[in-house]
Structures are given as structure tokens and as C-alpha cells.
Amino acid sequence: MTPERLVAFSDGVVAIIITIMVLEIKVPASEDADTFASLKPLIPTFLAYLLSFIHVGLYWNNHHHIYKLVKHVNGKALWANLFFLFSLSLIPFTTDWLGEHYKSEAPVILYGINLLLCGAAYQLMASILKKIKGNESLAGSLGKDIKGNASVILYILGIAGSVFYPYIGIMVYIIVACIWLVPDKRLEVNIIEVDE
Amino acid sequence: MTPERLVAFSDGVVAIIITIMVLEIKVPASEDADTFASLKPLIPTFLAYLLSFIHVGLYWNNHHHIYKLVKHVNGKALWANLFFLFSLSLIPFTTDWLGEHYKSEAPVILYGINLLLCGAAYQLMASILKKIKGNESLAGSLGKDIKGNASVILYILGIAGSVFYPYIGIMVYIIVACIWLVPDKRLEVNIIEVDE
Amino acid sequence: MTPERLVAFSDGVVAIIITIMVLEIKVPASEDADTFASLKPLIPTFLAYLLSFIHVGLYWNNHHHIYKLVKHVNGKALWANLFFLFSLSLIPFTTDWLGEHYKSEAPVILYGINLLLCGAAYQLMASILKKIKGNESLAGSLGKDIKGNASVILYILGIAGSVFYPYIGIMVYIIVACIWLVPDKRLEVNIIEVDE
Amino acid sequence: MTPERLVAFSDGVVAIIITIMVLEIKVPASEDADTFASLKPLIPTFLAYLLSFIHVGLYWNNHHHIYKLVKHVNGKALWANLFFLFSLSLIPFTTDWLGEHYKSEAPVILYGINLLLCGAAYQLMASILKKIKGNESLAGSLGKDIKGNASVILYILGIAGSVFYPYIGIMVYIIVACIWLVPDKRLEVNIIEVDE
């Protein structure tokens, strides 16, 4: 099986997830609902949306990078990909909860657990894809996935920190986003080599 | 007619169905809405979502498998596919109802009827596709669709059981999901043969 | 310009329209919300959804058929297609209103106007596509678009009838759906000729 | 990296944005909810939706045009495209706010800022794409992007005008939409040259 349709379906699901989050930002219904002041209570929700947009965007970018090197998928990989999409599909819910209660432990911890689940599902999918015959170039390029492993460790630290002080968790999740915003030279180089 | 666009359109519809279900899981609005305890009433809804995600995912997987072997479609097949997508599109509604009232007969029965409708629509579509000239390899591979037929029988048993005790239905629907989670060797083998 | 991306984008928009309509069917919130009896008030909404699903489905089928024969598009055709998609995007709203007030004149008339708008936008798009160099085979196949013209006339009759008695309009809209459910031999034949 | 998947993902996101806006137009719930009169309060929301549909449509058209000439993308371009999609994803929110309070300064100003953000993000993406090796034909065709620059200037004028009188802003945003509705001969000519 070739990965074309898996990729197209994943793009569809990720496109929906990244877009419907904004539906949770409701227009103010207060008495002064036509002033900029009325938007002030929406700022945490908006920032939570921005953080999640970046996280979903980076997972899409990584998905894009990994499948550039994938020649074959099997039934197991299809389900691993679905599990990864399921993890991502929970982000609109945890983002919404985080935006409403960013000062409380539980929402910050759950948001971190959701990100950790996405990271773990992504690693699981990658490790299944690597073992499929024909995907040797992927195995090579992912040899030392420093960023991926660092993210997982940071997510765990963030969750642990949130138990004491929620702002620690939020800071850590922002740091992970920043790490990924720097393009992954390692994979880009490999793709160029494979293309040539 | 070639099936490329039918497949792309179906992927879009299924991607939306599988994703919008999560929108029904609303952030708690109770007084203790920032604690893990406040999420407790959402657990049945979440589990119903998980069950439906797996069911929609398996139908997408099967759709993927079947159209790998389809070379031609006709007007009748287009409408059969639309009927299949229509059945799937009802799942967010029946899932939502099941999540809210999983202890009552009616929601469990309706959820089973919805799954049965999806299964029947899928079988109808497969039987139409098999008869189209050029799809002989599909006809061969689906010769004895044990899993497909078993699912339909199990759905009916689940619906019947729910009339007496709703938990029976839920257990049966979970069993069907588990059956399908095991990758379909039969079709995978055939695809490899066709590819070679 | 080739129509590939226009087609993919249209598929996305139509997939969303056809799927989000079902979100308007809300789970009952009455006291007996876990019985089949509580679903009874949803029946008109469900039937309105079914009617709209068929209409959107038939427009997607027609879009599919027409673009099979289109080799080139231009800026004008892109906007005509967007106008067509805009008409379709209003269907979830008019369907919802129809489902809630199917016995009243205004919602039935507005639903008919919406369908008429879709039909007119589709004809406009087809006539623009026909004039583009390279689409001669399309021009030939659409020579006498009996179904298309009949639909437009029936929509107008339905709207006019609804002014006196809303049921007339609903009956006529159902008849149009039935006319289109019969596959369009004319275009299918032409596609086969073109393919060969 | 080739832009195929970036384009498909962008199409998905834009298709969702352009479609979910209509979900904000809620069926009337007043006592006379089955009359045309009950729709009157929805007219501003509907017109705001129409204006945003055209704006999102024109950005999609431009995206379509630009990527016709793009042969290669890099990690930076992926993120610039995501930033552009993020700007677009805010339009359903600002449109909804504009529709409800089109006579107030703040919503008209914010809507203009949103459009300006989209325009700026688009220009940023175009300037990044131009510098990538292999996209020389794009660089040539965008040499003097009169429409693009004019839009940005008009958006700023509209925002400034809204501070004094909101109708000025709305008029300017409509003018920008009209400017773009005229197909871009400049790019179309270039594409033909490149194709030949």
C-alpha cells in the first residue's frame, strides 16, 4: 500500500482540527459587546488557541516531513496514524478548557497530557513506519530524533511542574512550540539527498 | 469513470464526521469547572466518542482497502457511496445521544441501528462495485467477507439484546470494533498480488 | 489553468456543507430525553436534512460529471464556481429553517429560492466553462440539458405553489431530487466516448 | 520539497473557514420565526458573511495563482503558509462580530485589522517563496504587485476611517473585494507563458 490516501485523509482531519478550535472563541454577549474592552476576557482563550494552532501546525509539518520518506504503509500503520489523529482531535477540547481556566492546575495538566499523548502517538507511528520494508531512508533520517525525544521529556516536566504552579506548565508548552518553529534541517537535508 | 474524485470526496466527508464528534464534548460549566472532578460526567460521552471514532476509522480503512482494487465506478456506485456517507453522517448525532443516556434502551438501540445501517450501506456499495467491469480483482478478494457478515449479525444481536439490557448492546458494539482492529490480512494479501 | 485544484477545493467545501447540516439536529433535552418518543419532534428536521443531503449530493455528482470533460478553467470560471459554492453554503441555514417550520410559507419559499439559486449558479458556471477553449466535448454533451432546465422550471413552480400551500413546494422539491437520482446516461455515454 | 501537500492542506483549511462562517447565521427564535420579517435582523450578518466569503475566496484564488508558479517550498515557507492560514482562521470570529455590531467602531476596525493581517501574511509568504531556488517564474510575475499593495494601503485607510465613521471602513473593504473580483490578467498571462 502506498501512503497517498492516508496522507490526504490526515490532511483533512488536521485541517478541520486546526480550524474548528477558533469556533470556541465566542463573540462577547455583554452589554458593552461592541467595544474593544469587551474582548479582554477572550484574550486567554485566544492565546490558548494560538498555542494549539502552533502545536497542531508543527505536528502537521512533522507528518509532512515523515511521509515524504515513506514508500509503504500497512494495516498497523493505518491504525497508528488514526490513533495519532485521535490524540490531535482532543486538542480543541483541552484548549477550550485551558483558555477558560489557565490559572488552575487541572486544565494545564490535562492540556500537557494531551500534548504528551500526541507526541507519544507520533513516536509510535514513526517507529512502526520505520520497520516497514521500503522505508529505510526514513529509518536513517530519524536515527537520533533529538527534538522529538526532547519534546516528550519537556511535556512530562511541564505536567509535573503544573501540579505545583500552572504557569510552569504553560511556559514549558510555549518553549516546546518555539523549539519546533525552527525548521528541522536534519530531515530537510535528508529529503534533498533522497530526491537527488 | 475512475474513482479518484469519489475517494477524495469520501475522505473529506469522513474526516469531518470523525472530527466534529469531539465538538459535542462541551467543557464543564459547573462551579468546580476547573477541577478533574468536573470532568467525571463527561466520561460516558468521551467513551462513546472513542467507540465511534474507532467505528468510523474502521469504515474508512475498509473504504481505503476496497477502492484500492476498484478501477471503475458508475452513477449507481456514486449514489451507493453517498448513501454510505449519509449513514456515517448520522453517527455524531447517535453518539451524542448514547453518551448522554447510555443506561437507557432507546439510545443504545438507535446507535446499533445506525451502525447496522452503515454496515448494510457498505455491503450494498461493495456488491455494486463488484459487478462493474474492470473490478474483477475486487470481486475475488471479497468472495467470502467473513468479517463484514459477522459484523452485521453482531449488530443485529446487539440491538436485540439492548431491548432487554442496554449494556449487552454496548458490549457487542465494542466487540465488533475489536474484531476490525485486527488488520484484514485477506485484503492486504490480495492488494500485494494485484500490485505485483 | 487546469481544473485539478478547483475540483479539490470544491470537494472540500461540498464535503463540509453536506456534513455540518447534521450538526443542526440536536439531541433532545426534554424530560423523557432517553426514549424514542422524544425523537418525534426531530423527524421534520431529519427529513429536511435527508432532502438537502440528496440535493447537495446531486450537485456534487453533476459537478463531478461536468469537470470530467473540462480541460481548462479561467479566472471567470473560478469565480463562477465560488458563486456556486456560496449558493450551496446557504443550504444548511435554509434546511434548518425548513425543518423547524415546514408548515409555513416563508421557510418553504426560501428553501426553494436557495435551490433555484444553486441551479442558476450551476447553469451559469456550465455556460462559462463551455465557452473556454479546450472544453468542446463539454459543450457537446450539455447541448440539451433537459434535466437542468426542468429542475429550474420545477423550482420556480414549487416556489409559486408554496405561496398558496407549502406542501406543494416540498412535494416539488422531492420530485426534483427523484429526477436526479436516476443516473444521467447522456453524460456517462459522452465520458465513455471521450475516454476512448 | 514540492508544494503539492501544502496546497492540499491549505485548500482543506480554506474550505472549512469559508463554510463554517455560515454556521454563525442562526435560524430566528422569535415568536414570528416562520415569517420573512423574522429574517430581517439577520441581514447585516448575512452581508458580513457575503463580504468575508468574497475575501476568503479571493485569497484562495490568489493562493491558487501563486502556487501554480511555485516549484519548491522549504520549512520557512511551510510556516509562512501556516501563519497566513491562521490569519484567515480568525475571519469567522471577526465577521460574526462585525455582523452583530456593524455600526460600532471597534468591530469594523478589528475586521479591517484581520483583513490587513491576511494581506500582510500573504505578502510575507509570497516574498519568502520568491527567494527559493526554482521559483524564478514567480518572482518575475509578481514583480509589481499593484493589486496586493493597493489592498494593504486601502485596508489601512479603511481602518483609519472607521475610527471616525464605521461606514467608511465597510465601504473600503467592499471596494477591495470589487478590485479583486476582476480576474488578474497579469498572472494568468504569465501562467500561460510558463505552461507553453
Contact C19 B23 (CB under 8 A): no
Q: Is the pLDDT of residue D184 over 80?
A: no
Q: How many CB atoms are located within 10 Å of the residue A47 CB?
A: 15
Mean pLDDT of C149-166: 93
Query: Cα(D138)–Cα(D135) distance, rounded to whole angstroms?
Result: 5
Cell of C194: 471521450
List the single best residue of D82, D109, D132 to mutate versus A (max A Cβ within 10 A).
Answer: D82
Distance of CA B64 to the CA centre of its chain: 13
Indicate the burial class of D174 (C-beta count within 10 angstroms; 0-12, 13-18, 19 or more). middle
> What is the nearest CA distance from D77 to chain A, expressed in angstroms?
10
Q: Which residues of C touch D4 (CB under 8 A)?
A: none
CA-atom Rg of chain A in angstroms: 18
Closest CA to D66 of D153, D152, D137: D137
Task: Convert the pLDDT of each residue in D80-103 to its tens digit.
Answer: 999 999 999 999 999 999 999 999
Q: Are C73 and C7 in contact (CB under 8 A)?
A: no
What pTM did the predictor assign?
Answer: 0.89
Query: Cα(A39)–Cα(A43) distance, rounded to whole angstroms?
Result: 7
pLDDT for residue A161: 95
Query: Cα(D12)–Cα(A11) distance, rounded to whole angstroms?
Result: 8
Task: Convert the pLDDT of each residue in B32-77 to its tens digit.
Answer: 888 999 999 999 999 999 999 999 998 998 888 888 888 888 888 8
> What is the nearest CA distance from D149 to chain A, expressed in angstroms?
27
Q: Which residues of C touch B78 (CB under 8 A)?
A: 61, 64, 183
Distance of CA D27 to the CA centre of its chain: 26
Q: Are B47 and B121 in contact (CB under 8 A)?
A: no
Alpha helix ranges (H) inside D21-90: 43-68, 75-89
At residue C134, φ and ψ (nearest 5 deg) are 105, -15
Contact A104 B188 (CB under 8 A): no
The residue length of chain A stands at: 196
Q: How many CB atoms are located within 10 Å of the residue A36 CB?
A: 12
Q: Is the pLDDT of residue B186 over 70?
A: no
> What is the nearest CA distance from C27 to chain B, expressed in angstroms?
6
Task: Convert the pLDDT of each residue in A154-180 to its tens digit.
Answer: 999 999 999 999 999 999 999 999 888
Closest CA to A148 of A165, A162, A130: A130
Contacts of C143 (CB under 8 A, 6+ apart): none
Q: Are C91 and C129 in contact (CB under 8 A)?
A: no
For chain D, helix, strand, coil in percent to 5 are: 80, 0, 20
From the list D1, D15, D106, the residue facing A68 with the nearest CB is D1
pLDDT for residue D194: 42
Q: Is the pLDDT of residue C49 over 60?
A: yes
Cell of D193: 507563458
> What is the nearest CA distance from D90 to chain A, expressed in angstroms?
7
Contact A22 D93 (CB under 8 A): yes
Alpha helix ranges (H) inside chain B: 4-20, 43-68, 75-89, 91-100, 105-131, 136-141, 146-164, 166-181, 185-195
Q: Which residue of C has its CA nearest to B96?
A: C27
Cell of A189: 537535508
Contacts of D161 (CB under 8 A, 6+ apart): D168, D169, D172
pLDDT for residue C81: 94
Q: Which residues of C touch B76 (CB under 8 A)?
A: 183
Closest CA to A8 of D51, C16, C8: C8
pLDDT for residue D10: 93
Q: Are B163 and B105 in contact (CB under 8 A)?
A: yes
pLDDT bucket at D147, cuts 50 / 70 / 90: confident
Q: Name the residue with cell 504528551.
A: A116
Task: Convert the pLDDT of each residue in A115-129 to its tens digit.
Answer: 999 999 998 999 899
Q: Which residues of C touch B (CB under 8 A)?
A: 7-8, 11-12, 14-16, 18-20, 22-23, 25, 27-28, 33-36, 38-39, 50, 53, 57, 60-61, 64, 68, 181, 183-184, 188, 191
Task: Convert the pLDDT of each residue in C79-107 to its tens digit.
Answer: 899 999 999 999 999 999 999 999 999 99
ipTM surpassing 0.90: no
Q: Is residue B10 helix, strand or coil?
A: helix
Task: Convert the pLDDT of each residue in B144-179 to its tens digit.
Answer: 677 888 889 999 999 999 999 999 999 999 999 988
- How many distinct helices (H) and strands (E) make up chain C? 9, 0
pLDDT bucket at C143, cuts 50 / 70 / 90: low
Contacts of B171 (CB under 8 A, 6+ apart): B158
Query: Cα(A92)–Cα(A97) distance, rounded to whole angstroms?
Result: 9
Q: Is the pLDDT of residue B189 over 50?
A: no
Task: Convert the pLDDT of each residue in D108-121 to its tens digit.
Answer: 999 999 999 999 99
Q: Is residue D24 helix, strand or coil?
A: helix
Cα dihedral A182, A188, A190, A191 in deg (nearest 10): 150
> What is the nearest CA distance from B146 to chain A, expressed in angstroms?
18
pLDDT for residue D144: 63
Query: Cα(B162)–Cα(B115) distance, rounded to whole angstroms?
Result: 14
Mean pLDDT of C108-135: 91
Q: Name the residue with cell 427523484.
A: C178
Q: Is the pLDDT of residue C42 over 90?
A: yes
Contacts of D60 (CB under 8 A, 6+ apart): C9, C82, D11, D14, D18
Task: Convert the pLDDT of each residue in B95-107 to its tens digit.
Answer: 999 999 999 999 9
The one-letter amino acid code at A89 reads S
Contact A79 B57 (CB under 8 A): yes
pLDDT bucket at C109, cuts 50 / 70 / 90: very high
Mean pLDDT of A63-76: 86
Query: Cα(D127)–Cα(C57) distance, rounded to whole angstroms?
Result: 40
If one compares A185 and A14, the residue with the highest pLDDT of the two is: A14
pLDDT bucket at D30, cuts 50 / 70 / 90: confident
pLDDT bucket at A191, cuts 50 / 70 / 90: very low
Q: Which residues of B touch A23 (CB under 8 A)?
A: 23
Contacts of D10 (CB under 8 A, 6+ apart): D63, D81, D85
Mean pLDDT of D183-193: 49
Closest CA to D81 of D171, D163, D3: D3
Cell of C171: 412535494
pLDDT bucket at C176, cuts 50 / 70 / 90: very high
pLDDT for residue A56: 95
Q: Are C70 and C138 in contact (CB under 8 A)?
A: yes
Q: Are B67 and B194 in contact (CB under 8 A)?
A: no
Q: Are A14 and A63 in contact (CB under 8 A)?
A: yes
pLDDT bucket at A91, cuts 50 / 70 / 90: very high
At residue C91, φ and ψ (nearest 5 deg) are -60, -40
Distance of CA A1 to the CA centre of its chain: 26
Q: Which sign does the torsion angle of CA B79, B81, B82, B84 carry? A: positive
Q: How far is CA D134 from CA A33, C129, D74, D81, in A?
A: 49, 32, 12, 18
Question: Any idea which of B44-48, C131-135, D139-143 has the lowest mean pLDDT?
Answer: D139-143
Q: Which residue of B has its CA nearest to A5?
A: B64
Chains that touch C (3 or more CB pairs under 8 A): B, D
Q: Are A159 and A169 in contact (CB under 8 A)?
A: yes
If one compares D53 and A188, the residue with the highest pLDDT of the two is: D53
Q: Which residues of D touch C (CB under 8 A)?
A: 7-8, 11-12, 14-16, 18-20, 22-23, 25, 27-28, 33-36, 38-39, 50, 53, 57, 60-61, 64, 68, 181, 183-184, 188, 191
Q: Which residues of B touch A (CB under 8 A)?
A: 7-8, 11-12, 14-16, 18-20, 22-23, 25, 27-28, 33-36, 38-39, 50, 53, 57, 60-61, 64, 68, 181, 183-184, 188, 191
The one-letter amino acid code at D133 reads K
Contacts of B105 (CB under 8 A, 6+ apart): B162, B163, B166
Residue B73 is given by DSSP the state -
Q: Is residue C87 helix, strand or coil?
A: helix
The one-letter amino acid code at D105 reads E
Q: What is the 3-state secondary structure (H, E, C) of A87-143?
A: HHHCHHHHHHHHHHCCCCHHHHHHHHHHHHHHHHHHHHHHHHHHHCCCCHHHHHHCC
Contacts of D165 (CB under 8 A, 6+ apart): none
Q: How far apart are the first and last CA of chain C?
A: 24
Mean pLDDT of C127-150: 78
Question: Any idea which of A1-5, A73-77, B86-90, D123-127 has the lowest mean pLDDT?
Answer: A1-5
List the single best residue of D6, D17, D23, D179 to mutate versus C (max C Cβ within 10 A).
Answer: D23
Contact A12 B7 (CB under 8 A): no
Query: Cα(C14)–Cα(C24) distance, rounded to whole angstroms?
Result: 17
Q: Is the pLDDT of residue B192 over 50?
A: no
pLDDT for residue D189: 46
